[in-house]
Every structure is written in structure tokens, then in C-alpha cells.
Structure 1
């Protein structure tokens, strides 16, 4: 099980173990801007969107999202698009790209991989390169490094936010997601640890600060700059990926082309899209995305908020339309998925009578530790009328979905059992 990196002792233990492995391999250093051969130029050119010309071109689309958003697949929320759970029925373990949710602070940029560079700088690198004289990697440089493939979910921290209001009667701010701000994909790319080592990571490094190339974010009239959120070096070295493929294809623009971070099991904001640069520091780093946002705020929390949020919690969802209508007098196979940032799901239970009784669901298919498990339960409704279907899961750490969760004003980490309404006619 992944250690709790918010715990100081565990944090230092992970750092020590990783430095031992790094010292055995030896530290490699990258040459700024060095290409790894013409063989990768074709791949970069082929992957680049035809309409892209610079690294900061705004999306040329009708709205802030580039890909089509048919209403049978998505619920749109301004700059964001939520996957309809019924669209995942029969879709397999991996969420198809055309059904993967979109979380944008502003709008999707179109970026040319041929001119894109990943820039690393800061006091945590050898020689403390300045922001205007960074260590650089091109797209073809990354394609030439040893690649890894992982299957992992990415989930918005506010997934389920709408249920604070609809189920618990509590007011929260932010996008009123139901449960569709999550998706599982097969990600391929270069371990972030490899690039940090080649850039000259030192033992003094404490935090990194990845920053995206999307437009600057304005909050209540204040320009907060481009999206960026600190990440502890311990987590960065453990399992974070610089991903350039999603489900076997180059990243789509809405999902971070040309390169994004994939930070397994952590809050979605950590998986910065359209990665442009990474500050590496020997001091703790801060941004609005770990001070103003992505903490618990409210009457039951400190004035400055809780510690920055890290790992996602346990959730379950039915692959059914909200307020679905089901036929009476027949058996229905209810299907769904459960997942947790703590690791594999151990058990899933389903209730078809509003929580009065519970039945063990049957799980099936592969179940990677950083993805979800698929399950099913057969139900023959006893009569026509309104019903509430409930699903709850327990993960390998023993964490269980509760009936309610404590309130926080930004509506993060709603993990209570969701009451899914259906009508039998």
C-alpha cells in the first residue's frame, strides 16, 4: 500500500529509499535542448494538431472544449464536461477518449509538439538554473527515453460535489458534478523521476511546481496566472508519469497534448495538463491551487483550511441514467464501478430498497490497483414505483463509503453512498 505522504516520517522514508536507488544508478544530466535523433521528428509532427502553430494558441472551437460533446455522452458545465454513467455501460475497463470527462479552468490550448519544450529550473537542480535559462526537453527527447505504461484513474477533486446539496442539504461552491468527473485510461510516457534525474535533481529538493500552458485563470477579477500546483518530491519520484499517450494514441488536446502529468490516486488537479515547465525547489512551494483551493474550508476546519488534499477517496456509481425508467416484471442486471485512491476495492454491496438491505455485488474483469473494479447485481423489482438504488464499496485499507460526509464549503471529496433514483413502470 502507498504510504501516506502527508505523514512526515513516511515522507522522509520514501525520499531516503528513492535516493538510495538513484545513487546506485548514478545521476544523469540532460543537455538543454539536445535532440535524440531525427527518428522521433516524424512522430512529433504526426501527433501535432494540424491547426496548431505555437505553444500557446487558444483552442479554435465553438467553446472552451475542442472535442464534440454529444448530449447522450456528456453533461456540460461551462468549461467542463461530465461523463454520463450510462455511456460507460459495456465500455470495458478503459474510458474511451470520446467519453472521458473534461476539467478545464479556462479553455483547451492547441499546442505544436514541434516547438513545444518542457523546461525545468530552480534551486533543487544542480547549478540552480534560472527560469530564463532552464534545462529543456523536446517532445522527441521524451519519445526517446524509456517509456512506461500504467492504467490509472484521474478524478476531479470535486467529483460528487452536487450531492452535498441534493442529499445533505448543504451549500457548496463550484461545478455541481454528480459522479461523472472520473475516468480510467491506459497512459504511456516517461517516469517523471527519469526526467528529474537527467535535469540534475539534488538531495536538497523538497517540492516541484508543474505549470500548464492553458490561459491564465481569473478568479473573481483576480488573475491567478496559469494552473500550477506543488507536488512533494517524494511523490514525484515514486510513480508520477509524464504521459504523451492515452489508450494507445497521442493525447487529445482536451486531455493535455502534447504532455501531461499523471499522478496516480491523487486529486485530479495534481495531474497538470499541457505541461510547460516545472520549478524544482529546495524550499516548500505554494500556489493558489494548494492554498486558496484544494483544501477543506468551513466552520469545522481551521481558518486557513486543512492540509492540502492529496489522495482520492472511495466511490461507487451505477451505469444507469439519473432518474432511469426500468420495466416491471423482468430481471435487470444492474452494473457499475467502484474505485479508491487507497488501492484496490475489496468488496461492493448493492441495495435496491433504499439501504434497508444489502447484497454482495459480483465483480468481474481486470482490476488494476490504481483503476476501478466493475461489478453487477441482478434485480427483479417487486412492484412498480419509485426506488433508490445504493452501492457502497470497501477498499483494501478498510476504508468504507459512509452514509454522509462532513461538509466543506468548496465541496471536495464527496464519498458518501449516493442514492440513485429510478422508476419502475
Structure 2
């Protein structure tokens, strides 16, 4: 069965939605891996809707009947398992929730403590063109927080902030600890933020998993 996906026609026709049919990237024809000869780009929406190797576009009152639209990228309650799941009861994922990630340091890395602090760097993003307005970071597993410094952010405003926000921070760590857990959570322009843990949002497909990003590191003093 060929791959297929759907987006709402309101998104496709919205002059602020920035949906495009791409045949070049950085002034050169798309590579095969990026979808040559034609790929649809749907910013702010789960990447599975940005179909590669585009063969046709259908305007319809019904969603695509493909497996990936009807029986794949959907979210469910934590109690639903493969024996009880009914894909017809959940809508297909379009816009994604707010996320952030710690890129440096890495899990298990040994970090030099300088003047009681360590450095963190990462990125944040939110779906639907929602702009990241703040990234909060913690050096003690989420007990205490401070706002990170934004290094680079999409200059566009909601609802057209499609790009990543890069951030950095210097955070204090306990002089008594040999290991600490670093955390990051982002806040977007609609004041959506990330949940504390995955247990409350777990689902059998593992999608929409946007809890705090946590990294455990070893301190060198």
C-alpha cells in the first residue's frame, strides 16, 4: 500500500500556514532521501504529514484511508492497550505539543563544576506555529528552576514561529552531590508547558511524549 496522509484544507489554504510543495532545498534539487522529485512541507505539523516522493494530491471531504492516517499516528489514554485499542475513536495527530531537549551534557557524562555551576545547552519547539517564550532548567531533578538564556529564536511570531529555539544556561549544583539530574521544560506563546513525567501521558504508540527532558550527570569538583 502506498504511503498517504491528510491535513485539514484550512491548513493547506491558510496564507499564514506556509504549506509548500518543495522541489529544491538550498537552491539544489531535492535529494532522494529528502523526497525527490517533490515533497509537501507542512510546518508546525507532525512530520508524517510532510509526504515525500509526492505522487498526487486529492481534495476530499474524508481523510486519507491509508494505514498511517487511520491506524498509526494517534494518541490514546494510558489505560488503552493493544487488546482494547480502537483507532476510530481518536483523531489523527496534526499539531504537536511543546517540547524541549538537553543536548549538552549527555546522559552519564562527567561534568566539571566551575564556581558551583555547570553549563547546559539545548533546543525547544512547539507545534502550530506557537513561539517558544521561555525555557526553564533545573539542576536538582526539578525541585528548583531558573530561566535559560535564549541564544537563537525564530523571529516570526505566533502563529508562524516554525523554527527551533536554541538555549543555554549555567545552573548551580549541590556541592554535596556526586550525581545530579538536569531537567528542561519549555513554555510556548499560548502558555502550554510540558508535563512533569511520562506516566500520566503514556500511550501504547509512545507518541506525544513531551514530559520534562531529564539527563543524569556525574560531577567532577
Q: Give the TM-score range, shorter chain.
A: 0.7 to 0.9
Other-structure match for 2:5: 229
Among candidates 11, 27, 30, match of residue 251 of structure 1:
30
In the alignment, is the contact (CA less than 8 A) between 1:329 and 1:381 conserved in 2?
no
Change (3 A) 1:327 1:399: same
Instruction: Tell me the secondary structure at the aligned position of residue 255 of structure 1.
Output: coil
Q: CA deviation at 1:315?
A: 0.6
Partners of 1:236 and 1:242 lie apart in 2 by: 11
Name the CA distance, whole Å, in 2 between partners of 1:334 and 1:248.
Answer: 35
Mapping of residues 374-413 of structure 1, within 5 Å: 374-379=166-171, 381-383=173-175, 385-404=178-197, 405-413=200-208
Aligned to 2:141: 354
| Contact map agreement 1:265 1:311 (CA 8 A) in 2 | yes
Aligned equivalent of 1:316, options 93, 100, 103? 100
Equivalent positions of 1:23-422 (< 5 A) are: 225-238=1-14, 239=17, 240-297=19-76, 299-300=79-80, 303=86, 304-320=88-104, 321-329=106-114, 331-342=117-128, 343-367=130-154, 368=156, 369-379=161-171, 381-383=173-175, 385-404=178-197, 405-422=200-217
Runs of 4+, deviation exceeding 6 Å:
none
Matched with 1:178 is: none
Query: Is the contact made by 1:315 and 1:339 (CA closer than 8 Å) also made in structure 2?
Result: yes
Larger Rg: 1
> Which residue of structure 2 aligns with residue 155 of structure 1?
none
Cα distance 1:255–1:324, how it changes in 2: closer, same or farther (>3 A)? farther
Distance change (3 Å), C-alpha of 1:282 and 1:356? closer
| CA-CA distance at 1:335 after TM superposition | 1.3
Q: Is the Cα contact below 8 Å between 1:347 and 1:394 reproduced in 2?
A: yes
Q: Which whole-Å CA distance do the structure 1 matches of 2:6 and 2:34 have between them?
A: 20
Q: How many residues align?
A: 201
Q: Once the two structures are superposed, what CA deviation does each residue of 1:39-79 show, in whole Å capped at 9, x if it has no partner?
A: xxxxxxxxxxxxxxxxxxxxxxxxxxxxxxxxxxxxxxxxx
Uncovered stretches (5+) of structure 2, i.e. residues with no partner? none
TM-score by length of 2: 0.81
Give unpaired runs (5+ residues) of structure 1: 1-224
- Greater relative contact order structure (CA < 8 Å, 6+ sep): 2
**How far is the alpha carbon of 1:257 from its aligned partner?**
1.9
Distance in 1 between residues matched to 2:27 and 2:121, nearest whole Å: 26
What SS does the corresponding residue of 2:69 show, helix, strand or coil?
helix
